């Protein structure tokens, strides 16, 4: 399913080499995730505590194809988990390795898609130099897809494998469709059938691929103009893709718990807030957390986000003649975000990075098109290449840091609270993880705070009772130990300033804590405060020596 014309430099091996390079770089970026564990954010319910993925017997297969567990219909996704378990067992490394490899393949496939689509739109003209520019733009788009921090949640979360598998088959489906447009009968019909089959498989993994009919319709309008040249076949193909996507949506809509009582103006507010949130995170991927409440919690008024979204859409339409692909990419971005919004049940809407994994690709393709245009101009290519490389290196660095956030449940929810102190699930989930680690005194503080903010949180109340039970009744938490552990957790996430604050508070409560002095020495050294680091290191050695001497008597 590659292009039929020679490579952009006249060498047919160039696209294949570029595919391998993009795929390998994207996969290697997540090598550190192989040391991560499972987290109590879907991993437990979907993988660790799910007995049905531990077997490929008739009962398990029947469950996979009939269940709406976790409010989703994803039989191929469950099957994917089961195959990983059968191959390597219930080891976090197995799931993270599979996710990293599929993400690498997705990045490579997105490079191929970008190359094909940029050629269709003639983003940089014709000729050998223009073809080289197209390759540069497509590689840049593929690397943006592979290295951008918005992909971290989907790749570093073990249960995100089903989403990755969904996008893998979706990209294959679109490539097969593009091949069908260049083929002659009967190959065209076979490729179209293959594309529809791959879309169905994508939908059986997860529902994210339902955006494909929108892409097919937009391609038919521009640049192919198929509704003028081959109207009957274009409509028939669009109806076939829409039918498959409709069945996927229907199956997942039935799996969702719908209800009433959530007003239209709040839904519209959230729709606008979601678009702004995800667009902003593509352009400035800072403060990424698993769950961010939208709507009033996002700090906007009722209609401003929706008005701004409409304004951007109108501007894209106005500029459509000069930049015809701009409107198409914006519409694909909106269409990719519509399913998670439309399938959401009653209650507030939360932003999750996993929903941006596919949607953000519209921005990446736009970035590739801009680079291709600039490259074709032949001026300042060295500066352009250096700028693109620096941007990609920066994104990769942020992604590496974000991958550490997903190391375990404690690091995940500690980071979440540091970014958003009002996060509803963070305290309860952090407390549950702390209880499992035997750190009940810290868990109690978080749970009391959670119940003060949300008195109706029954899970927090249950976890609080569990913490008291484990400690044999009421107790006063050791605040010095709490601050020391929190400081150590923050330092492991690279948040040295916040770590120093909590470790200093721990030292004020327990001046003779050798462990706290040792932690502060490491933090201050990382901050370049060498003298303070040496002072705490000396104090740690003295306390450790005194403790060892005392233990011998």
Say if pTM beats, i.e. exceeds, 0.95.
no
Answer yes or no: are the C-beta atoms of 305 and 276 closer than 8 Å: yes
- Per-residue model confidence as pLDDT tens digits over 373-388: 999 887 888 999 999 9
Answer yes or no: are the C-beta atoms of 346 and 259 closer than 8 Å: yes
For the residues of 248-316, what is the DSSP string, one character each? HHHHHHHHS---S---HHHHHHHHHHHHHHHHHHHHS--S--S-EE-GGGGT--SSHHHHHHHHHHHHH
Least confident among 26-40, 253-267, 287-301, 416-430: 253-267
Q: What is the greatest pairwise CA distance in the chain?
A: 95
Checking if the pLDDT of 552 tops 50, the result is no
The residue assigned the tokens 């409560």 is 509
Q: Given pLDDT bands bounded at 50, 70 and 90, which one contains residue 472?
A: low
Name the architecture of domain 409-552: Alpha Horseshoe (1.25)
Q: Mean of the pLDDT values across residues 43-64?
A: 94
Higher pLDDT, 350 or 522: 522
DSSP 31: G
Chain centre to alpha carbon of residue 92: 18
Q: Mean of the pLDDT values across residues 347-371?
A: 89
Q: Given pLDDT bands bounded at 50, 70 and 90, which one contains residue 445?
A: confident
Least confident among 211-215, 264-268, 485-489: 264-268
pLDDT at position 264 is 46
pLDDT at position 476 is 56
Q: Given pLDDT bands bounded at 50, 70 and 90, which one contains residue 553?
A: very low
Q: Where are the domains of the chain?
A: 13-256+263-405, 409-552
Checking if the pLDDT of 7 tops 60, the result is no
The residue assigned the tokens 């400081």 is 487
Beta strands per DSSP E along 350-436: 350-351
Checking if the pLDDT of 353 tops 50, the result is yes
For the residues of 458-521, what is the DSSP string, one character each? HHHHHHHHHHHHHTTS-----HHHHHHHHHHHHHHTT-HHHHHHHHHHHHHH-TT-HHHHHHHH
- Residues 304/336/344/163 CA torsion (nearest 10 deg): -140
> Considering only CA atoms, which of 517, 461, 519 is closest in space to residue 490?
519
Q: How far apart are the first and last CA of the chain?
A: 76
Q: Which residues contact 411 (CB under 8 A, 6 or more apart)?
A: 404, 405, 489, 492, 493
What whole-number distance in Å separates Cα of residue 259 and Cα of residue 25?
44
Q: Which residues contact 72 (CB under 8 A, 6 or more apart)?
A: 206, 207, 252, 255
Checking if the pLDDT of 103 tops 90, the result is yes
Q: Angle 277-283-288 (CA atoms, 0-180°, nearest 5)?
A: 55
Checking if the pLDDT of 299 tops 60, the result is no
pLDDT at position 377 is 85
Cβ count near 473 (within 10 Å): 6
Checking if the pLDDT of 482 tops 60, the result is yes
pLDDT at position 492 is 76
Checking if the pLDDT of 350 tops 50, the result is yes
Least confident among 133-142, 389-398, 439-448: 439-448
Checking if the pLDDT of 163 tops 90, the result is yes
Backbone φ and ψ of 293, nearest 5°: -70, 135
Q: Mean of the pLDDT values across residues 115-125?
A: 77
Checking if the pLDDT of 260 tops 50, the result is no
Least confident among 57-61, 424-428, 442-446, 463-467: 463-467
What whole-number distance in Å separates Cα of residue 387 and Cα of residue 377?
16
Checking if the pLDDT of 111 tops 70, the result is yes
Q: Given pLDDT bands bounded at 50, 70 and 90, which one contains residue 312?
A: confident
pLDDT at position 296 is 56
Structure tokens at 179: 């091949």
Higher pLDDT, 391 or 268: 391
Q: Mean of the pLDDT values across residues 425-452?
A: 86
Checking if the pLDDT of 32 tops 60, the result is yes
Percent of the chain whose predicted confidence (pLDDT) is above 70: 88
Q: What average pLDDT does the structure give for the chain?
A: 85
Answer yes or no: are the C-beta atoms of 359 and 336 closer than 8 Å: yes
Q: Mean of the pLDDT values across residues 219-225?
A: 81
Checking if the pLDDT of 412 tops 70, the result is yes
Q: Mean of the pLDDT values across residues 183-212?
A: 92
Q: Hey, CA dihedral for 504, 508, 514, 516, is it positive or negative?
A: negative
Cβ count near 450 (within 10 Å): 24
Structure tokens at 105: 């393949």
Least confident among 56-60, 82-86, 111-115, 341-345: 341-345
Backbone φ and ψ of 197, nearest 5°: -65, -45
Least confident among 73-87, 344-358, 391-405: 344-358
pLDDT at position 517 is 84
Provide the 3-class DSSP secondary structure of residue 351.
strand
Cβ count near 126 (within 10 Å): 10
pLDDT at position 11 is 66
Higher pLDDT, 542 or 42: 42
Helix axes 75-88, 58-66, angle to 10 degrees: 140
> Considering only CA atoms, which of 279, 291, 299, 210 is closest in space to residue 39?
291
């Amino acid at each position: 399913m590659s292009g039929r014309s020679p490579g952009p430099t006249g060498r047919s091996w160039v696209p294949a080499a570029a595919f391998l390079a993009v795929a390998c770089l994207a996969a290697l970026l997540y090598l550190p995730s192989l040391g991560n564990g499972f987290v109590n954010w879907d991993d437990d319910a979907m993988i660790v505590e799910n007995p049905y993925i531990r077997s490929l017997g008739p009962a398990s297969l029947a469950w996979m194809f009939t269940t709406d567990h976790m409010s989703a219909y994803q039989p191929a996704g469950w099957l994917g988990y089961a195959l990983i378990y059968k191959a390597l067992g219930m080891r976090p490394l197995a799931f993270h390795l599979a996710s990293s490899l599929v993400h690498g393949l997705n990045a490579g496939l997105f490079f191929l898609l970008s190359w094909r689509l940029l050629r269709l739109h003639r983003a940089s003209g014709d000729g050998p130099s223009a073809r080289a520019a197209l390759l540069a733009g497509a590689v840049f788009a593929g690397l943006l897809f592979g290295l951008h921090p918005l992909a971290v949640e989907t790749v570093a979360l073990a249960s995100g494998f089903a989403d990755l598998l969904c996008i893998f088959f979706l990209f294959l489906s679109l490539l097969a469709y593009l091949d069908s447009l260049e083929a002659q009968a009967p190959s065209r019909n076979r490729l179209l059938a293959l594309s529809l089959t791959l879309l169905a498989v994508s939908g059986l993994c997860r529902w994210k691929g339902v955006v494909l009919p929108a892409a097919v319709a937009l391609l038919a309008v521009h640049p192919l103009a198929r509704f003028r040249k081959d109207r009957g076949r274009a409509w028939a193909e669009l109806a076939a893709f829409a039918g498959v996507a409709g069945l996927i949506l229907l199956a997942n809509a039935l799996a969702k718990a719908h209800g009433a009582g959530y007003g239209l103006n709040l839904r519209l507010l959230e729709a606008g807030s979601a678009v702004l949130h995800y667009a902003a995170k593509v352009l400035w991927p800072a403060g990424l957390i698993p769950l961010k409440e939208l709507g009033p919690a996002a700090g906007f008024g009722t209609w401003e986000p929706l008005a701004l979204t409409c304004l951007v859409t109108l501007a894209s339409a106005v500029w459509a003649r000069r930049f015809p692909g701009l409107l198409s990419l914006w519409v694909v971005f909106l269409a990719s975000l519509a399913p998670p919004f439309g399938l959401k049940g009653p209650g507030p809407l939360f932003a999750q990075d996993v929903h941006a994994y596919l949607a953000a690709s519209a921005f990446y393709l736009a970035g590739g098109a801009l680079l291709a245009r600039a490259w074709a101009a032949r001026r300042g290519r060295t500066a352009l290449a250096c700028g693109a490389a620096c941007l990609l290196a920066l994104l990769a660095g942020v992604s590496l840091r974000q991958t550490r956030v997903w190391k375990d449940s404690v690091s995940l929810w500690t980071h979440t609270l540091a970014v958003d102190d009002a996060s509803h699930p963070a305290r309860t989930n952090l407390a549950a993880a702390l209880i499992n680690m035997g750190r009940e005194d810290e868990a109690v503080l978080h749970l009391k705070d959670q119940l003060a903010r949300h008195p109706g949180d029954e899970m927090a109340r249950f976890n609080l009772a569990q913490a008291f039970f484990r400690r044999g009744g009421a107790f006063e938490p050791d605040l010095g130990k709490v601050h020391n552990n929190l400081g150590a957790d923050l330092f492991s996430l690279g948040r040295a300033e916040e770590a120093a604050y909590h470790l200093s508070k721990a030292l004020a409560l327990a001046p003779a804590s050798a462990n706290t002095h040792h932690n502060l020495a490491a933090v201050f050294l990382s901050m370049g405060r060498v003298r303070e680091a040496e002072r705490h290191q000396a104090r740690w050695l003295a306390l450790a020596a005194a403790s060892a001497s005392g233990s011998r008597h």
